């Protein structure tokens, strides 16, 4: 039995700034409060209390962007299963920095919610947490999780009942 899975992100998702901009464009409604506050900051009359409240609101909304950027620094570049080997690589900002290759029995995928993410473990150690951002949306992460665990189950059953 030839078992395989292959996922690789598209070229525009390799660049950190484009990943962030794509998220902003796809979730435009999240940034409406920012635009309203900036418009209020520009429109006179200028009272110190009003300005302080608007700037405070912008700072609070800025934390959302910091969290988003922090979760997008390390990004899953590709994930491939070929026979009994699992290969995946991670991008840090714009460049591939880590390549991993291991037997399928030593790699585990787990789903976590709130926020939704896929946790990749190698030899029971967390190697990467891929959040549902950009190319790796919730649907694609669940699809990868389901396919991988079904494949892993099939490979394990096949190796258990293989003739010696």
Tens of pLDDT, residue by residue over 69-101, are: 999 999 999 999 988 899 999 999 999 999 999
CA angle in degrees (0–180, nearest 5) for 149-99-14: 95
User: Looking at 52-106, which runs of residues are DSSP E strands?
Assistant: 74-82, 85-92, 95-103
- Name the more confident of 55 and 158: 55
Q: Return the structure tokens found at 14.
A: 């390799």
**47 band by pLDDT with thresholds 50, 70 and 90:** confident
As a whole number of Å, the end-to-end CA separation of the chain is 17
Please name the helix (run of DSSP H) or strand (run of DSSP E) that holds residue 131, with its range, or none. strand 125-131
Instruction: Look at residue 156 in the predicted model and tell me its pLDDT.
Output: 63
Q: Return the structure tokens found at 118.
A: 């896929």
Q: What is the Cα–Cα distance from 37 to 151, expressed in whole angstroms?
A: 50
Among 44-48, 91-95, 123-127, the range scoring the smallest mean pLDDT is: 44-48
Instruction: Look at residue 7 in the predicted model and tell me its pLDDT.
Output: 93
Give the CA radius of gyration of the chain: 21
Whole-number average pLDDT of the chain: 89
Q: What is the Cα–Cα distance from 26 to 103, expressed in whole angstroms?
A: 37
Which residues are CB-contacts of 117 (< 8 A; sequence separation ≥ 6)? 111, 129, 130, 131, 132, 141
Q: Would the pLDDT of 158 be above 70? A: no
Q: Would the pLDDT of 159 be above 70? A: no
Among 45-49, 55-59, 69-73, 90-94, the range scoring the smallest mean pLDDT is: 45-49
Q: Would the pLDDT of 1 be above 60? A: no
**122 band by pLDDT with thresholds 50, 70 and 90:** very high
Q: Would the pLDDT of 163 be above 50? A: no
85-92 vs 74-82, strand pairing mode: antiparallel
Residues in the chain: 164
């Amino acid at each position: 039995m030839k078992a395989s899975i292959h996922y690789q992100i598209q070229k525009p998702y390799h660049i950190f700034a484009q990943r962030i901009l794509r998220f902003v464009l796809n979730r435009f409604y999240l940034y409406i409060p920012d635009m309203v506050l900036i418009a209020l900051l520009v429109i006179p009359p200028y009272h110190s209390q009003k300005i302080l409240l608007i700037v405070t609101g912008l700072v609070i909304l800025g934390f959302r962007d910091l969290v988003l950027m922090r979760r997008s620094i390390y990004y899953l570049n590709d994930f491939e299963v070929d026979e009994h080997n699992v290969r995946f690589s991670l991008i840090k900002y714009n460049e591939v920095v880590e390549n991993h290759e291991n037997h399928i029995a030593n790699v585990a995928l787990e789903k976590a919610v709130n926020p939704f993410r896929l946790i990749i473990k190698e030899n029971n150690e967390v190697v990467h947490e891929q959040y549902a951002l950009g190319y790796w949306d919730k649907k694609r992460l669940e699809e990868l999780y389901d396919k991988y665990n079904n494949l892993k189950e099939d490979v394990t059953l096949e190796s258990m009942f293989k003739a010696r």
